[in-house]
Amino acid sequence: MRLQRQFSGQLIAIDTNTAIASGGEGRIYPIAQDPSLVAKIYHRPTDEDADKLTVMFSMPPDAPIAAPGHASIAWPLDLLHTVGGREKIVGFVMPRVTKVQPIHTFYTPKTRREQKPLFNYLYLHRTARNLAAAVNALHARGYVIGDVNESNILVTDTALVTLVDTDSFQVRDPYTGYVYRCPVGKPEFTPPELQGQTFREIDRAPEHDLFGLAILIFQLLMEGTHPFLGVYLGSDEPPSLEARIRSGHFPSGTKRIPYRPMPAAPPFEMLHPRLRQMFLRCFEEGHGNPLARPDAKTWVNAIREAEDALITCSKNNQHKYGNHLSRCPWCDRSKLLKGRDPFPSRQAVRSGLHLQPLKTKRKKPQPPPQVRETPVRRQQPSTGLPRKLGQYQPPLLPMPMSSRTPAAPAVPLTKFERIVQDAAWGSVWGGLCLAAVAGVFWAVAEGGGAMLGAIFVGSIWGSFFGMMWGIFTLSPNQIWRKWGGVLVGAVWGAFFLAAIGGAVFGAINNNPAIGQAILCGAGVGTVWGVVWASFPPPLAMPMGRVWGRRGAGLGAVWGAFLGTLAGVCLGSGLVLWQQYTGVVRSNNEFAGLLLGVAIVAAGVGSLGGTVSGILLGFCGFAPKLPISFQPTGVKGGTLGAIWGSFLGAIVGAIFGAGLSAIFPDVSVGMPVELAPVAGAIVGAGLGTVWGMVSGIVWGALGKW
């Protein structure tokens, strides 16, 4: 099977006979070109799957742990589409996870003793801490796991955690507001307010994940004991685990309930005092008020505090326990389990004593106890692919754990904050642009030698700084980009010196026109910043479905861009041809005519291109937008030019038509009834040129 990566363009070959894992949704295959990656191919790919993956790809969470070759979250790195004919998204590429086991292997005493005997209590704390850090990174980016369970969390021997089956997470498109829900969940990890609900009809929230996170942390630190599992003290049939969660019956809590903790479970007092408080907040206070549950970042800090408070037993250095305890609970627990040590010493592991069968004395049959216990009912994982994980011998010596403290991911700005920020930057950008335009126009029309000198000096200094940036920031194999840095630096230097020169010229010569231009530019820039922040390009528009309503929208975007380029080139070319082959005009007259014709031609071209693009795109003749991963640089500038010209044309036409309708006298020589048409054309021309230039700069800088 030959597929192509959507954003990198790389062709890959998938051998359908070498599936690593298979499940109800799809199969996972190795990628021969890159052993560090795998491909998940859906059995029945849908358009909604493609849209969801595109949004996820465009907005990845921050990695809470930076370890070589390790991914805390198996996030989509690229999308895969078919080659030839109608292109269709059929899967995605993600990091390959190796040398891992499901988290229950580590918190279940039997499997841990058999497979990971040196994974001690310190490692369990670090696992819980890394798990909370990964969940915090997802929540900070606006994602919700939904189906929190023990089969979707993988752990290494060094306590590093990887969250898998990320394509089942709940994803909200920040631009359209559409929610791609997580339709499944395991009852033993589901919060009380969602017990018995139909997940396909519910938008989940972070506090729902926090309930399942607290259960997993409890199981990690309490020898696999589920926090709501206990001995039922009533005389009737014991309620199910789901019913206990729904009722908020936490056996280790402070409330009077018909349960007591399991006799084989470690005592609740063994946990660090702060952790005990947080479990009470989650399972008791959070029962009636889900917002009271501790968030993932609070869990990270609390577990770090508990981890720092661990001390080592004098009899067995594999026994770690809190310094608030007067004696080692693991030594006591070994006696309770008749010699079966939860954390055997290195000597015991080397000699294989930790795997010896438990020796028990024969006793006379005893009558069964009156108190009944209800074990947890094991269920099959709700979603996700069963993975065949490599079997390998556990290390005899503990491997080093990551000591890096997970940094709190940057919380993304709200839409209002983003609009205010871009409006402020837009006003600065607009003032500089109009100051530069006024300065250049004055230099061309009036022959200002000082202005031309300033522009020349600015380009020289900009080239120098661009060259330095290229030398000190790019690797040797990117030497060709250094000349790009020189070019970009020259343009920026000329721009800034032109803006400064224009402002200085206006102040020295008391020229009100330049001052008015700067104020006008600040106003236009503010509007531009608001529009840019309010209408980002659509992320969920992958290839293969660009016809109909979506194709019309995509065609309008491309039509505005191509029409603007065609209009500016034709209009400016006509004026230049007349200047040098026909009527010769003065510099002032020539500059004004060139600017006016270019604006009108850009307006006509953008509006005509938009209408034509809608018609063609509806039939399926619209190309794809060059959306890339967090676009910056050349790709970001290209996308910014395309999207900016479209936004500028639409907004400019609306503003121009409105102003001309309110003030018809502005359209000199035009009938009153045609004033809005003329205003729309001129406004579209100004807007699309402004949007194209500004979009190139803002897109190249990554302001999305």
DSSP string computed for 454-486: HHHHHHHHHHHHHHHHHHHHS-GGGTHHHHHHH
Lowest mean pLDDT among 81-85, 349-353, 491-495: 491-495
- Residue 356: CB atoms within 10 A of its CB come to 11
- At 249 the pLDDT is 96
The CA-atom distances, in angstroms, between 144 and each of 41, 153, 181, 629 are 23, 15, 9, 21
Residues 543-556 have a mean pLDDT of 66
pLDDT above 90: residue 286: yes
- At 693 the pLDDT is 87
Q: How confident is the model at residue 578 (pLDDT cuts 50, 70, 90)?
A: confident
Lowest mean pLDDT among 194-208, 317-331, 545-559, 560-574: 545-559
Say if residues 3 and 82 touch (Cβ distance below 8 Å): yes
- At 408 the pLDDT is 37
Sign of the dihedral defined by the CA atoms of residues 510, 514, 516, 518, in that order: negative
Name every residue whose Cβ is closer than 8 Å to that of residue 569 and which is 6 or more positions away in sequence: none
Beta bridge partners of 154: 102, 162
Q: How far apart are CA 467 and CA 544, in angstroms?
A: 42
Element (H, E) at 224: none
- At 230 the pLDDT is 94
User: What type of residue sits at position 289?
Assistant: N
Residue 475 falls in which region: left (phi positive, over 0), alpha (psi -120 to 50) or beta: beta
Long-range contact list for 299-302, CB < 8 A, 24+ apart? 299/128, 299/129, 299/132, 299/136, 299/213, 299/214, 299/217, 300/129, 300/132, 300/133, 300/136, 300/406, 302/272, 302/274, 302/275, 302/278
Element (H, E) at 328: none
Both tokens of 268, joined, read 């609740």
44-48, 329-333, 476-480, 503-507: which has the highest mean pLDDT?
329-333
- At 1 the pLDDT is 84
What is the percentage of the chain residues whose pLDDT exceeds 70? 76
pLDDT above 80: residue 398: no
Q: Give the helix ranges, DSSP H, for 582-674.
A: 587-618, 633-662
- At 197 the pLDDT is 92
Q: What is the pLDDT of residues 499-515, one digit of tens each?
A: 777 777 666 666 677 77
Sheet containing 78-82: order of strands: 11-13, 2-5, 78-82, 89-95, 37-42, 26-30, 21-22
- Please tell me which residue, 471 or 47, carries the higher pLDDT value: 47
- Please tell me which residue, 111 or 540, carries the higher pLDDT value: 111
- At 380 the pLDDT is 38
CA angle 683, 686, 690 (to 5 degrees): 135
Q: How far apart are CA 170 and CA 184, in angstroms?
A: 10
Both tokens of 356, joined, read 């010896």
395-404, 488-497, 685-694: which has the highest mean pLDDT?
685-694
User: Radius of gyration over alpha carbons of the chain, in Å?
Assistant: 33
Q: How far apart are CA 32 and CA 14, in angstroms?
A: 8
Lowest mean pLDDT among 48-52, 606-610, 673-677: 673-677
Return the CATH architecture of domain 99-231+240-354: Orthogonal Bundle (1.10)
What is the percentage of the chain residues whose pLDDT exceeds 90? 37
- At 79 the pLDDT is 92
pLDDT above 90: residue 543: no
pLDDT above 70: residue 121: yes
- Please tell me which residue, 562 or 451, carries the higher pLDDT value: 562
Domain residue limits, the chain: 99-231+240-354, 413-534, 539-704
Name every residue whose Cβ is closer than 8 Å to that of residue 386 and which is 6 or more positions away in sequence: 21, 22, 23
Q: How far apart are CA 80 and CA 5, in angstroms?
A: 5
Beta bridge partners of 26: 42
Q: How far apart are CA 542 and CA 626, in angstroms?
A: 10
- Please tell me which residue, 107 or 656, carries the higher pLDDT value: 107
Q: How far apart are CA 155 and CA 132, in angstroms?
A: 13
pLDDT above 90: residue 630: no
Q: How confident is the model at residue 698 (pLDDT cuts 50, 70, 90)?
A: confident
pLDDT above 50: residue 392: no
Lowest mean pLDDT among 380-389, 663-672, 680-689: 380-389
- At 96 the pLDDT is 92
pLDDT above 90: residue 671: no
pLDDT above 50: residue 681: yes
Q: How far apart are CA 567 and CA 692, in angstroms?
A: 13
Lowest mean pLDDT among 283-287, 307-311, 580-584: 580-584
Both tokens of 680, joined, read 């729309």
Q: How far apart are CA 198 and CA 285, in angstroms?
A: 25
pLDDT above 90: residue 168: yes
In a 3-state reduction of DSSP, which class is residue 42? strand
Q: For 27, phi and psi rounded to 5 degrees?
A: -125, 155
- At 643 the pLDDT is 87
- What is the number of residues in the chain? 704
Residues 101-112 have a mean pLDDT of 95
pLDDT above 50: residue 569: yes
Q: How confident is the model at residue 254 (pLDDT cuts 50, 70, 90)?
A: very high
User: What type of residue sits at position 431?
Assistant: G
Residues 252-276 have a mean pLDDT of 93
Lowest mean pLDDT among 134-143, 185-194, 354-363: 354-363
Q: What is the pLDDT of residues 36-50, one digit of tens each?
A: 999 999 999 988 898
DSSP 8-state secondary structure symbol assigned to residue 282: I
Q: Chain-wide mean pLDDT for the chain? A: 80
Burial class (CB in 10 A: 0-12, 13-18, 19+), 508: exposed
- At 517 the pLDDT is 74
Pairing state between β 161-163 and 171-172: unpaired
- At 590 the pLDDT is 74
- At 206 the pLDDT is 96
Dmax (CA) of the chain: 120
- At 277 the pLDDT is 95
pLDDT above 90: residue 656: no
Q: Helices 512-534 and 415-446 sit at what angle, rounded to 10 degrees?
A: 150
Q: What is the pLDDT of residues 424-442, one digit of tens each?
A: 888 888 887 877 777 776 6
Q: What's the N-to-C CA distance of the chain in angstroms?
A: 35
Q: How confident is the model at residue 365 (pLDDT cuts 50, 70, 90)?
A: low
Q: How confident is the model at residue 372 (pLDDT cuts 50, 70, 90)?
A: very low
pLDDT above 80: residue 459: no
In a 3-state reduction of DSSP, which class is residue 162? strand
Closest CA to 217 of 292, 304, 326, 143: 304
Closest CA to 680 of 697, 662, 659: 659
pLDDT above 80: residue 471: no
Three-state SS annotation for 235-273: CCCCCCHHHHHHHCCCCCCCCCCCEEECCCCCCHHHCCH
Q: How far apart are CA 543 and CA 507, in angstroms?
A: 53
